[in-house]
Amino acid sequence: MPSPMRIRAASKDGITEVRILMNHEMETGQRKDSAGKVIPAWFIQEVKASLNGKEVLQAQWGPSISKNPYFAFKIKGGKAGDAVSVTWLDNRGETRTDEAKVT
């Protein structure tokens, strides 16, 4: 099971800023290991975020995203105590969902 994401969400003046650090190896499928064999591609394909159960963001990613990606975005609305949930799905079918409260 992949490590948890670090999610921080803060609301100010009706705008909620969400910052996420995702733990994922993110292999492109182009690098080689020490034996010269190609390391298979392994990367996040889809990211979804929701505020109180309502989807507010959907992103399609590919192999060019860095290892342990940092992702931030802002949304209108949200207040202290609201729930922000983030889910990713990778090309191997693994998924991870984590949640944080808005401060």
Q: What is the pTM of this model?
A: 0.91
Instruction: For the chain, list the domains and their CATH numbers.
Output: 6-101 (2.60.40.10)
Give pLDDT tens digits for 81-100: 999 999 999 999 999 999 99
Give pLDDT tens digits for 31-74: 999 999 999 999 999 999 999 999 999 999 999 999 999 999 99
Cβ–Cβ under 8 Å, residues 87 and 97: yes
Give pLDDT tens digits for 2-31: 789 999 999 999 999 999 999 999 999 999
